């Protein structure tokens, strides 16, 4: 019974999980298309076909974490921060820092995967976990991500008695699909005009004569990858010597990006919220910018380094920026804007998401043991 239940929860539980299966599961948790364009996410090292019994989660893949993964016999490490980010020239045993950690993982057959900003933007990811700590029930992203141009719209003008034939040809070639709907089109009757030269052979009317012809404007969406095939089908089905058509680029609907903005469940002082978050993150102290007795009502959450992202919003004294780290001059900007900020430390603001990722991975891959690294630690000490 136990194996049957596991099989119903995951298609890979009835077989031995592999690195590729873990990559697919992590892609469900943190879709890679949500990552920032400058980021380096996904499988960074390893063999996708290698069997996996254990996965280790960490924020930073340090040499100590790599040694811990080898001791735990983990076949894969999910490191939130990409250990391979900027261009590197070599990875050897004598390398230092992240490069050495990657070398040790490869040496021990341990695959390395990174989520970073994909997890920041994902539902239930880094920023949502911080929002939950604040008690925020509903939030919006600070930034939306351009999903990219994947579709276009084709508009063609067709004699009324040919509309169905031309439309059907375009449908068969791959146009006119919107979500789960097929054969989607819009049709509007009108009048087309033309004046053919002596070299033309018009299907209707006469060359050398200014003609007015009843036509239907037919339009439908088309995936860019099918554009050439659909246009070929359109021309083949159309009776005109020179069919008139236009192709318009379509902008995809933006998807939720990094950062979160939401109302706090109740007004609270800056000091009170800072102490609450310190307890949730097991921190002895956190940094705050602004009067400690100020009442805040809305949180702008940016895990890791806030940078200039929060300042895209119209900030008021009711707002508090919650982040990992903040530059000195950005803190001065907070004071000038009249809002507040809480800095938990970069690592501390990101570490809580590992438990959420571990729970999701266990749900998707019940036969894979998920371990959160104990050697992955805050690099700063409080004295």
Residues in the chain predicted with pLDDT less than 50, given as ranges, are 1-14
Mean model confidence pLDDT for the chain: 91
Q: Which of 138, 141, 126, 137 is nearest to 348 (CA)?
A: 126
Tokens of 143: 């930034």
Q: In this predicted structure, what is the pLDDT of residue 15?
A: 67
> Counting Cβ atoms within 10 Å, is residue 329 exposed (0-12), middle (13-18) or buried (19+)?
exposed
- Strand 319-325 versus strand 340-343 pairing type: parallel
Q: How far apart are the first and last CA of the chain?
A: 53
Q: In this predicted structure, what is the pLDDT of residue 201?
A: 79
Q: Can you say whether residue 174 is alpha, beta or left, with left for phi > 0 and alpha for psi between -120 and 50 degrees?
A: left
> Residue 156's beta-bridge partner residues?
218, 245
Tokens of 60: 């930073």
Q: In this predicted structure, what is the pLDDT of residue 83?
A: 93
Rounded to whole angstroms, the Cα distance separating 301 from 287 reads 15
Q: In this predicted structure, what is the pLDDT of residue 92?
A: 79
> Counting Cβ atoms within 10 Å, is residue 80 exposed (0-12), middle (13-18) or buried (19+)?
buried
CA-atom Rg of the chain in angstroms: 28
Tallying the residues shown for the chain, one arrives at: 383
Dihedral over Cα of 187, 193, 197, 203: its sign = positive
Domains of the chain, first to last: 2-118+353-372 (3.40.1390.30), 126-145+257-344 (3.40.1390.30), 151-249 (3.30.70.120)
Whole-angstrom CA distances from 50 to 18, 54, 75, 263, 357 are 5, 12, 8, 45, 21
Q: What count of Cα atoms within 13 Å lies in the side-chain half-sphere of residue 21?
A: 24
Q: Which of 303, 284, 304 is nearest to 381 (CA)?
A: 284
């Amino acid at each position: 019974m136990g194996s049957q239940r596991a099989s119903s929860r995951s298609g890979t539980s009835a077989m031995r999980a592999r690195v590729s299966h873990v990559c697919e599961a992590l892609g469900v948790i943190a879709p890679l298309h949500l990552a920032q364009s400058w980021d380096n996410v996904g499988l960074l090292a390893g063999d996708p076909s290698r069997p996996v019994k254990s996965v280790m989660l960490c924020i930073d893949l340090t040499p100590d974490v790599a040694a811990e993964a080898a001791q735990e016999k983990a076949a894969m490490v999910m490191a939130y921060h990409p250990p391979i980010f900027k261009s590197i020239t070599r990875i050897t045993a004598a390398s230092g820092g992240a490069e050495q950690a990657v070398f040790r993982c490869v040496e021990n057959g341990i695959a390395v995967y990174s989520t970073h900003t994909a997890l920041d933007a994902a539902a239930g990811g880094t920023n949502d976990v911080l929002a939950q700590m604040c008690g925020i029930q509903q939030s919006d992203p600070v930034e939306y991500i351009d999903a990219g141009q994947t579709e276009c719209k084709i508009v063609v003008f067709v004699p009324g008695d040919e509309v169905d034939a031309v439309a059907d040809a375009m449908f068969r070639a791959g146009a006119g699909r919107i979500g789960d709907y097929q054969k989607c089109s819009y049709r509007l009757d009108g009048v087309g005009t033309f004046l053919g030269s002596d070299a033309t052979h018009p299907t209707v009317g006469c060359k050398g004569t200014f003609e007015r012809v009843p036509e239907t404007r037919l339009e439908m969406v088309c995936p860019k990858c099918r554009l050439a095939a659909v246009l070929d089908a359109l021309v083949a089905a159309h009776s005109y010597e020179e069919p008139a058509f236009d192709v318009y680029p379509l902008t995809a609907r933006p998807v939720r990006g990094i950062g979160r903005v939401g109302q706090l469940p109740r007004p609270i002082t800056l000091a009170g919220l800072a102490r609450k978050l310190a307890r949730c993150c097991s921190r002895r102290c956190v940094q705050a910018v602004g009067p400690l007795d100020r009442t805040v009502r809305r949180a702008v959450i940016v895990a890791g380094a806030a940078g200039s992202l929060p300042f895209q919003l119209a900030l008021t004294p009711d707002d508090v920026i919650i982040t990992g780290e903040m530059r000195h001059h950005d803190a001065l900007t907070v004071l000038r804007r009249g809002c507040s900020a809480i800095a938990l430390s970069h690592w501390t603001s990101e570490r809580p998401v590992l438990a959420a990722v571990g729970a999701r991975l266990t749900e998707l891959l019940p036969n894979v043991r998920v371990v959160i690294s104990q050697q992955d630690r805050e690099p700063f000490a409080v004295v």
